[in-house]
Amino acid sequence: MNPSIKEVLESKGITVAEEHLPVLQARWEAVELLKKETNDASLADFDIALRNIPGGDHYGL
């Protein structure tokens, strides 16, 4: 069973205004639609836009 948007937010301690719920629902569905379109992307395991370089991000620069 999928929890509702209201339940997800309330589980994080966030009080959602009732009038926000239909807008949130519509926007979240739009985000999920965009996500579906990324299913055909072939993601490379080593290519990610994050770094963690010991000694700080500027090490060796």
Partner 1 sequence: MGYELVTKSVEELAPLLKNREISSKELTKTVLDHAEKNNEDINAYISFTRERAERVAEQVDRDIAAGDYKGMYHGIPMAVKDNLYFKDEVTTMASKIHRDFVSDYDATIIKKMKDAGVVFTGKLNMHEYAWGITNNNPHFGASRNPWNTRKIPGGSSGGSGAAIAADMSAATLGTDTAGSIRIPSSVCGIVGLKPTHGRVSKYGCFPLSWSLDHIGPMTKSVTDAAALLEVIAGYDTNDPTSMNVPVQSYTSQLTGDMKDITIGVNEDYFFKNVDAAVEASVRQSIQSLKDQGANIETVEMPSLRHAEYTELITILTEAAAIHHDNLVGRPDDFGDDIRLLFELGELPSAVDYLRAQQLRRQIKQEFQEVFKKVDALVMPTLPIIAPEIGEDYVDLNGEQVDLVNNIIRFTGPGNLTGLPSLTVPCGFKQEMPIGMQVMGNAFDESTILNVGHAIEKTNPLKGKKPELVR
Residue numbers at the binding site for partner 1 (CB under 8 A) = 5, 8-9, 12-17, 20, 23-24, 27-28, 31, 34-35, 37-38, 41, 43-44, 47-50, 56-58, 61
Distance of closest approach, residue 44 Cβ to partner 1, in angstroms? 7
**Closest by Cα among 25, 5, 23, 3 to 14:** 5
Q: How far is CA 22 from the centre of its chain?
A: 19
Residue closer to partner 1, measured from CB, 54 or 57: 57
Distance of closest approach, residue 38 Cβ to partner 1, in angstroms? 5
